[in-house]
A and B are shown apart, each in its own frame.
Chain A
Amino acid sequence: MANQMQLYEVFVRSRRGLDHKHVGSLHADDPAQALEYARDVYTRRGEGVSIWVVASRDITASQESDCESFYDPLDDKPYRHAAMYDLPEGVDSL
């Protein structure tokens, strides 16, 4: 049975105001069942107030081979970081 099932990624929001965070994956027959299993498998200890499930196959992911072209060109652009600014008084972080 598990062979015919789809893989879903599970995202849980732990508290109101926080983002949904990826917590893992599971197998299910359809999105509705995935949501119920996400509840049963990933929120047993009261971890969440909201759950998203997404079919893993619907996620387009960057590849290891993309790293060079994606991220290396950013190494020499320190001016994109706000670290150069003097913080005004009373501001702890920017």
Chain B
Amino acid sequence: MKPDDAIARYAVRLGDDALILGHRLSEWMSHAPFLEEDIALGNVALDFIGRARLFYQYAAQRIGGECTEDSLAYTRDVRDFSNLLLCELPRGDFAFTICRQFLYDAYSLPFTEALSQSVDPQLAAIGAKAVKESRYHFRRSRDWVLRLGDGTEESHQRCQRALDELWIYTGELFETDSLVQDLVARGIAVDAAAMASTWHETVAETLQEATLVVPAGEVNVIGGRSGIHTDDLGFLLAELQFMQRAYPGLQW
């Protein structure tokens, strides 16, 4: 499903990022290292699921017809999802989840700030709500990176390994295609490419403080925005969509 409406496609992208990352976080429920962190991770997961709903509702409204937030979340297949690959990677160990979250939050905070300035009033409103959440998410994940990086030898190693694995996916955060370029020119979409250097500074500063090394490898794995995903997304969707697939239209 590829809606013709450019703003709807953009909103679906942002909704996909939020839904898939939120789902990955929700996988920690009852598996987090201790009770307080379990609840805290759940809160962040719910922030993202809530954000996904707002983007999907807006997209569904623009697409019209039978389209709803639920049909966008539950009845599209892998190739129709347009989330960043970074968001769909399996949760890994706690260090991996924290490092992914930190890299994403350092991106999401300026992104939502910029989105709140969109000339599209609905996207601006979603951005304004999301930026408050992102500010807290960033504070939390940054804090954890400092604790783990500058913690024990094991936590340091796990963090560094996670960063090294994640790094190759970070270039995609700042990729723009013709859809985004067109919307940026109209003042609707966020010019993510312009955020890259600030993001890099933020990340480098925190990693240095955490005694971690900024990975030096390539950052050229892309594909999520055009529906080319890792195998892992299929398994994620199988779980996320099972109920609606097995019992279409089910409500409770």
Contacts A40-B43, A44-B43 given; indicate if A27 touches B143 (C-beta within 8 A). Answer: no
> Within residues 36 to 51 of chain A, which ones have a CB less than 8 A from any CB in chain B?
36-37, 39-41, 44
B39 at the interface (CB under 8 A from A): yes
Complex contact A36–B33 (CB within 8 A): no
> Within residues 40 to 62 of chain B, which ones have a CB less than 8 A from any CB in chain A?
40, 43
Report A-chain residues with C-beta under 8 Å of the C-beta of B91.
none
Complex contact A2–B34 (CB within 8 A): yes
A84 at the interface (CB under 8 A from B): no
For A3, the closest partner residue in chain B by CB is B34
Complex contact B36–A32 (CB within 8 A): no
A17-35 vs B: 1/0 string, CB under 8 Å?
0000000001111001100
B93 CB, min distance to chain A CBs, angstroms: 13
Measured in the bound complex, the distance between the Cα atoms of B36 and A2 in whole Å is 10
Total chain A interface residues with beta-carbon distance under 8 A: 15
A38 CB, min distance to chain B CBs, angstroms: 9
B245 at the interface (CB under 8 A from A): no
Report A-chain residues with C-beta under 8 Å of the C-beta of B37.
37
A21 CB, min distance to chain B CBs, angstroms: 20
B158 at the interface (CB under 8 A from A): no
Contacts A1-B33, A44-B43 given; indicate if A36 touches B139 (C-beta within 8 A). Answer: yes
Complex contact B143–A33 (CB within 8 A): yes
Complex contact A37–B43 (CB within 8 A): no
B37 CB, min distance to chain A CBs, angstroms: 8
Contacts A32-B143, A36-B143 given; indicate if A41 touches B34 (C-beta within 8 A). Answer: no
Report B-chain residues with C-beta under 8 Å of the C-beta of A32.
143
For B140, the closest partner residue in chain A by CB is A36
- Of B34, B139, B140, B147, most A-chain CB atoms within 10 Å: B34
Known contacts A1-B33, A40-B36, A44-B43; 18 additional CB pairs below 8 A are: A1-B34, A2-B35, A5-B34, A26-B35, A27-B35, A27-B36, A28-B36, A33-B143, A33-B147, A36-B40, A36-B139, A36-B140, A37-B37, A37-B40, A39-B136, A40-B40, A41-B36, A44-B39
- Which A residues fall within an 8 A CB radius of B? 1-2, 5, 26-29, 32-33, 36-37, 39-41, 44
The 3 residue pairs across chains A and B that have the minimum distance between CB atoms: A40-B40, A37-B36, A2-B34
